[in-house]
Amino acid sequence: MIEDKKIGVIAAANLALTYKKQNPTADTEEIFGHVMRIFKIERNIKIPSMAGVNFVLKYLESNPRATEKEIMQRLSNEIPKIINSTKTQEEQNIQEEDSELT
């Protein structure tokens, strides 16, 4: 099971790109579903990983001729922003889950 956020983001995004390459007509929902089924992620890594998947799919959509290497490099440059932007959502989800348990 993946426990590092950066690795999780990269691995999930790579899985999404591979699936999209093998299934060019797959829509975003199908790709997210595939990643969630295949990818075993710690709870605190799920949100940043899915944000990374979203980033690469949007980048690919707006740059259809981009190479996988270019997409992954762009993602790599954006990982700190992706992780920071998901921290508040992650904290909110944990608080909601904790309040449901009590």
Query: Minimal CA–CA distance to 86: which of 8, 2, 27?
Result: 8
**DSSP codes of every residue in the chain:** -B--HHHHHHHHHHHHHHHHHH-TT--HHHHHHHHHHH--B-HHHHHHHHHHHHHHHHHHHH-TT--HHHHHHHHHHHHHHHHHHHHHHHHHHHHHHHHHH-
CA torsion angle 16 18 21 26 (round to 10): -30
pLDDT the model gives residue 94: 63
Q: Would you place residue 19 in the very low, low, confident or very high pLDDT band (cuts 50, 70, 90)?
A: very high
pLDDT the model gives residue 2: 52
Look up the pTM and report it: 0.81
Handedness of CA 5, 6, 7, 9 (dihedral sign): positive
